[in-house]
Amino acid sequence: MSKVGIRDVAKLAGVSTGTVSRVLNDHPSVTKELRARVDGIIKELGYMPDPSARSMRSKVSRLIGIVIPDLTNPFFSELVQSAEQAAANHGYNIIVMTSFDHAAKEADRIRQLTSRKVDGIILVPSNDFHTLKLPKGLPIVVVDRLMPGYSGIAADHRNGVRLGVEHLLKLGHRRIGFISGPKHSVPANDRLRGYLDAMEQTGGGTELGASPLIAEAAFDYESGRSAGNYLLARARNERPTAIFASSDQQAIGCMRAAHDLGIPIPAALSVVGFDGIPLASMTTPRLTTVKQPIQEVAAAAVAVLLNKRTAPELDKPILFDCEFLNGETTAPPQPD
């Protein structure tokens, strides 16, 4: 059994290779009967077109690249998995690459993908993305960390955070601390804005004399823990009664900080996270959080890429709504 090619199919079906090719590509101008016959032979022979030859002629690789900062981050791994599903539904496959939030590595990966002739790239930019210039002519859709000046697809972080903070306000909290993301991160700032939106709307302040309620931190566990320590290590009547963290991992770090300070959750401190990763439902107590619509974002990104020839450039970001997930880490505040 040597390799079966398009010519074998053509010969056995008694047609030309051109016709077989047209059948393969769902070209409309093939009669039903012929199509059926050819399809039959194809199945019979177990013929599979050679993607290299195909893409060489047609300039279509049916390959999508996805570049993310860190696959170990559950948020991104879910994004990749969702994208893979969406792509597979359309006969596309995914090449994953990790940038480790390193601009140089990121640029290199994008170059690799370009030379691979992928049909499009889904990019979650590294934090110093601004140094990066995207290759022209290759469809790239920026996801999650939207860049000013670039359009893309993301969750509506700002509104999502507002949802979470409003939940705390409704419970009666007023001294609500906020653990923000890295200063220059776009989504971090969107989330901060959501917090400020909610706080201003109550007429409440976001500072408490010399004791600010906002702590900047990276998105990871350890940073959240430090930030939690910073916000909680003060006199009880100056201490926030609730904390909103910009990521679930931060929130979990913050819970650890509270635990170490002997502050019970949710009795003496309410905590809300952001992201809605599986991890959130594995803590004790279960973390209350705001879930990002990762699947929708991934599916939309793939869709945009697949329609790229027809679809106009995204002129404004596409945003999807977040969802509030009630857990066990919030309760009304204790009286001072």
Look up residue 110 and give its two tokens: 């994008």
The crossing angle, in degrees rounded to 10, of helices 157-171 and 186-201 is 40
Please check whether residue 158 is in contact with residue 323, taking contact to mean a CB–CB distance below 8 angstroms. Answer: no
Exactly one of 70, 166, 197, 296 binds a copy of itself (CB under 8 A); which one? 70
Spell out the residues 6+ positions from residue 5 whose beta carbon is closer than 8 angstroms to its own: 47, 50
Q: Is 8 in the site for a copy of itself (CB under 8 A)?
A: no
Stretch binding DNA (CB under 7 A), from 53-61, 150-158, 203-211, 246-254: 53-61
Q: Is 159 in the site for DNA (CB under 7 A)?
A: no
Q: Is 93 in the site for DNA (CB under 7 A)?
A: no
16 binds, among DNA, a copy of itself, none (CB under 5 to 8 A by kind): DNA
Look up residue 173 and give its two tokens: 């909290």
Distance CA 328, CA 273 (A): 12
Q: Is 57 in the site for DNA (CB under 7 A)?
A: yes
Distance CA 30, CA 103 (A): 49
Stretch binding a copy of itself (CB under 8 A), from 22-30, 35-43, 55-63, 298-306: 55-63
The crossing angle, in degrees rounded to 10, of helices 17-24 and 6-13 is 110
Tell me how far, at minimum, the Cβ of 105 lies from a copy of itself, in Å: 9
Name residues contacting a copy of itself, limited to 239-268 (CB under 8 A): 249, 252-253, 255-256, 259
Q: Is 28 in the site for DNA (CB under 7 A)?
A: yes
Could you give the string, one character per residue 229-248, with x where binding to DNA holds by CB under 7 A and - elsewhere?
A: --------------------
- The residue among 88 and 233 lying less far from a copy of itself, judged by its C-beta, is 88
Distance CA 276, CA 155 (A): 12
